[in-house]
Amino acid sequence: MMPQTALSASEKAEQTAVEDATYRLDAMISQIQRLSRIVEKLLQLSRAVAGTGFRRDKFDLLPVLHVMADELDRPQNSDNPRLMLETGCCTHLSVRGDMDATGILLRNVLENALRHSPPDSPVRVSLALADSPMGKDIISRTQAQDGTGSGLAALRQQPEMADAVILTVENASPALPDATLSKLTDPFVRGGSQAEGSGLGLAIARTIARHMNVPMQLASPIPGQKDGFMVQLIFPQDAA
């Protein structure tokens, strides 16, 4: 009969081998999943750059936003969702563009905010009409922050944007240097976060937004704050 000490050592060695194999298998699966996500992002970017097949249909932006929020956050965090949606009294917001492309745009912006902010921090998503009190406050704060013509005055100079829909996504983050912020929508550029990512999400979002004539603005820090990161999208409303 094998001594008890030898048997224990043998069992321990076998257990260690199994744990090592499991660890390596998990690492391989994780790497394959990461590569699959990168391939998916590259395909999205390629299609967005080509700009083929973009539609100009009228659709409701609210359900698209809610579907993306549910898919990315709420089922996993039903008791403590991180995506905090604020839509005011709006029950529907009709815009014109490609609904599927808009879904991809929103998914990439929301994924970016969730991935590159602390795990327990909220991501605030607000949707408002430009001429509403909430919309005016958002744009005025943005204009005061950057001093450019991207704020309320610029919208008033464009009649087609007077009743635009403003989507703002804000997440916790250290303030980014201007040099980094200006290149953040370039492919494979990252903002210094240690979170896993491909560096393609905001590049895809920017490309789709350009094809849809949707102004997209980045800000860090968040206007009126000392830190944080903000993405602002302005959709022309279709009130007809």
Instruction: Enumerate the domain spans of the chain.
Output: 56-235
pLDDT in tens, 39-56: 455 555 556 565 555 677
**pTM more than 0.85:** no
For position 25, what pLDDT does the model report? Answer: 58
Q: Which CATH class is domain 56-235?
A: alpha beta
For position 163, what pLDDT does the model report? Answer: 73
Q: What are the residues whose beta carbons fall under 8 Å from the beta carbon of 9, sequence distance 6 or more?
A: none
For position 173, what pLDDT does the model report? Answer: 92
User: Which helix or strand (DSSP H or E) is residue 85 part of?
Assistant: strand 83-86
- Give the integer Cα–Cα distance in Å for 22 and 24: 5
Least Cα distance to 84 among 117, 43, 45, 129 occurs for 117
**φ and ψ at 198, to 5 degrees?**
-100, -15
pLDDT in tens, 174-205: 999 999 898 988 887 777 666 666 678 898 89
- In the predicted model, is pLDDT for residue 6 greater than 70? no
For position 130, what pLDDT does the model report? Answer: 78
Lowest-confidence region among 2-11, 85-94, 224-233: 2-11
Range of 3-12, 29-38, 131-140, 171-180 with top mean pLDDT: 171-180
For position 7, what pLDDT does the model report? Answer: 53
pLDDT in tens, 118-153: 988 999 999 888 777 777 777 676 665 554 444 444
pLDDT in tens, 58-111: 889 999 999 888 888 765 556 778 899 988 767 788 888 888 888 889 999 999
For position 161, what pLDDT does the model report? Answer: 60
Q: What are the residues whose beta carbons fall under 8 Å from the beta carbon of 53, sequence distance 6 or more?
A: 47, 98
